[in-house]
Each structure stands twice: as structure tokens, then as C-alpha cells.
Amino acid sequence: MDSRDSSNGGVERYDDLHVNEIDDGWKPKSKWLHGAFESFRLALRLRDRLTPGLSIGLGFHLIDAERPLGLSFKTPWEFERNLSVTPPSLYLMHKGTEFWTQTLDPDICETTVREFSPAIIGAPFSDVVCHFMEFKRSSTGECTRSVFTHQAG
């Protein structure tokens, strides 16, 4: 079984699965959004059959910034331009321990978490919630930016 599975601590470690590891066709950055949404759809279907008590998150790492930028995109095209060099990832989490519910790193001195419309990133789902997250690190002053999508409820 994959080392990221829920029986060996992968859920607690927030192990992730990048879309480019799921399908070679999703390796080019131009295919990431399609691959991310398709893998999220499949993961939700599998989760519902196998582990309904867990939450599936789809994470997008954005380009880091020297200062807080907030939600700096308003369209799927602008969102895609803000993606970092890291492909989107799927996460399997215990409900109530999702990234957008807590701060995990003691180096973080400022946190912004903002819910926004899935249409902004072109998510083809009606029952999802998107969270923009921005963390300023006290050690470097750099701002780490991410977007997480998960099923509502």
C-alpha cells in the first residue's frame, strides 16, 4: 500500500499526493487545473465508498510573496498565473483537523484565512468551499500563500 495511506499515519502527517504523480498526462503545468479537479472528483467518490469519515482537500500552492497580497486573483486565468512550481495535491484529513482550521507552524506570526467562491478558480463543482490562506513567517518575513478546496459540510 502507498505510504500515504490512512492506516500508517499518513493522515496525521498530512501526506499529500501531487496530481503529476497520479497521471503522466497531468505533468505539464498547463494540465494541472484539469488534473486537480478530476483527481479531486475521483478521490471524493472513493472516499465516500471507503472512508466517509475523512475529509478530502485539494491544495494549490501559490507563488510566495515578500508581503501579504491577499486574494490577488479574480478569474481562473489569474489564479493559474499565481500557481507556484509545485503541482496541486490531494490531502486526506480527519474532519476538524483541516489546514484551514488551525495553525501548525510556530514560525507563523500572521495568518489570513478567507473563504471565496469556487468560480474564481474555475472549480467545476457546486458543493465545494474554497479557502485562501496566507501565512507570514517571523523568521524570514516571507508570505506563504495557498488555496484549499474541500467538499462543503
Mean pLDDT computed over 2-11 = 46
Q: How far is CA 142 from the centre of its chain?
A: 19
Distance CA 145, CA 34 (A): 21
Distance CA 95, CA 53 (A): 7
pTM value is 0.83
- Cβ atoms of 142 and 65 closer than 8 Å: yes
The mean pLDDT value for 135-147 works out to 84
pLDDT of residue 72: 92
Summarised one tens digit per residue, pLDDT across range 44-102 is 998 888 777 788 899 999 999 888 899 999 999 999 999 999 999 998 877 776 665 66
Q: Give 103's pLDDT tier (boundaries 50, 70, 90).
A: low
Residue spans per domain, the chain: 14-97+104-151
Q: State the CB neighbour count (10 A cutoff) for residue 2.
A: 9
Model confidence at 141, pLDDT cuts 50, 70, 90, reads confident
| Cβ–Cβ under 8 Å, residues 122 and 33 | yes
Instruction: Supply the DSSP symbol for 53.
Output: T
Per-residue pLDDT at 88: 96
Task: Please compute, for residue 16, the number of CA atoms within 13 A of its CA located in the half-sphere on the CB side.
Answer: 18
Q: DSSP string of 63-96?
A: PPBSS---S---SHHHHHHTB-SSPPEEEEEETT
